[in-house]
Amino acid sequence: MLAVVKAIFLRGVPISPPAPFSARLAPLKDIRVTLTLPATVFVFLAFNVVYIFSSVITERATDGSAEPFTAGSGRMVSEPPPSPGA
């Protein structure tokens, strides 16, 4: 449905010619961009390494199940909520 609406209303929008490959790589000539890319990749890898190996650390505490993690209320997710009188 959206494709039909786009085809009708965006028919007159001009399309620019594709940029050559050298123009696409031109921003890499800027040293700030060139240094930011490896830093971004390093942060991405560091986060994922910690995320992946955190399961090894928490496995003993959770018996390999993700269910016992708390839901922010300090109680286990698998526990029923406390009764109002308690």
Greater confidence, 83 or 68? 83
Residue 41 resides in a domain: yes
Nearest C-alpha neighbor of 69 from the set 55, 84, 86 = 55
Greater confidence, 83 or 72? 83
Greater confidence, 24 or 75? 24
Which tens digit of pLDDT belongs to each residue from 19-74? 999 999 999 999 999 999 999 999 999 999 888 888 777 777 777 666 555 555 55
Q: 63-74: b or e for each residue (b if 16 or more CB lie within 10 Å)?
A: eeeeeeeeeeee
Which range marks the domain in which residue 34 is found? 30-64
Residue 38 resides in a domain: yes
Residue 17 resides in a domain: no
Res 6: pLDDT: 85
How many structural domains does the chain have? Answer: 1
Whether the pLDDT of residue 76 is over 80: the answer is no
Whether the pLDDT of residue 80 is over 70: the answer is no
